[in-house]
Structures are given as C-alpha cells and as structure tokens.
Amino acid sequence: MRAVDTNVLIRYLTADDSRQSAAARRVIDHEHIFVTITVLIEMEWVLRSVYSFELGEIVSALRTLGGHPLISIEHSDRVWRALEWAEQGLDFADALHLAGAEQCAGFISFDRSLVRKAKGLTSIAVTAP
C-alpha cells in the first residue's frame, strides 16, 4: 500500500489536467492506497478555496473516496463523524480536531463559532479558555 498526496486526489476528483488525472486514476483505481487525515484537511481546503466547491460537493467527494474499495482512510471513524458534523455547520478541519479529541475531558478554543456550533454534537465540553 502506498499513500497519496492531496494533489493526486484533487486530480482524480476534478480531472482538471488530463495527463495528471489519467495518472491519478491509474494509481487509485488499480492499487491499494492510504489517505492521511492531513491530506483530507488540505483537500477540503483546496476544493473549497481553489475550486469553489460547496460543502455538499465536498462531503460527497470525501464520502466517494471513502467508499472506494482500494482506498483506506486514516482514522476513518473520525472522518465520518467529522463529515456529519460539517454537514451540521462545523468547519471540516474543526470537526476533525474535535473528533480526534473525544477521549479527552474537553476541547478548548478561542474560536467562538466552534464553541457555539459544537454544543450538542459531542459529549465533550467545547469551551473558550
């Protein structure tokens, strides 16, 4: 199994460069690959900021990758939870941070929006310092 960088997944999903997209498809569709959480965070940012994808399109793209039979996603349980929370208004990166901290007694952030939006989504307390 090999891991892939964000740019390979972006080419696979957007097909915006015919040569690189074809190369990405050859890899992703024919061998087992591993996707780290950090690649997913960057991928969400690129799709939103560079390609102007809407949240629903991003969630759908990430779920499509997660459903691919040859793709393994690091801490996939956290990723699925973060996608659900993103659909409920949390920023995807914040949702991943929060999903990774569920074994903790609480989560501290200066981000008032995160503190407000996280209420009721998880059993851990999300508070400002």
pLDDT at 123: 84
Count of CB atoms situated within 10 Å of the CB of 14: 17
Q: Which two tokens stand for residue 67?
A: 């459903």
pLDDT in tens, 26-72: 999 999 999 999 999 999 999 999 999 999 999 999 999 999 999 99
Cα distance between residue 96 and residue 83, in whole Å:
8
Cα distance between residue 62 and residue 128, in whole Å:
30
> With a threshold of 0.75, does the pTM exceed it?
yes
pLDDT in tens, 92-109: 999 999 999 988 999 999
Cα distance between residue 37 and residue 4, in whole Å:
11
Q: Where are the domains of the chain?
A: 1-74, 89-129
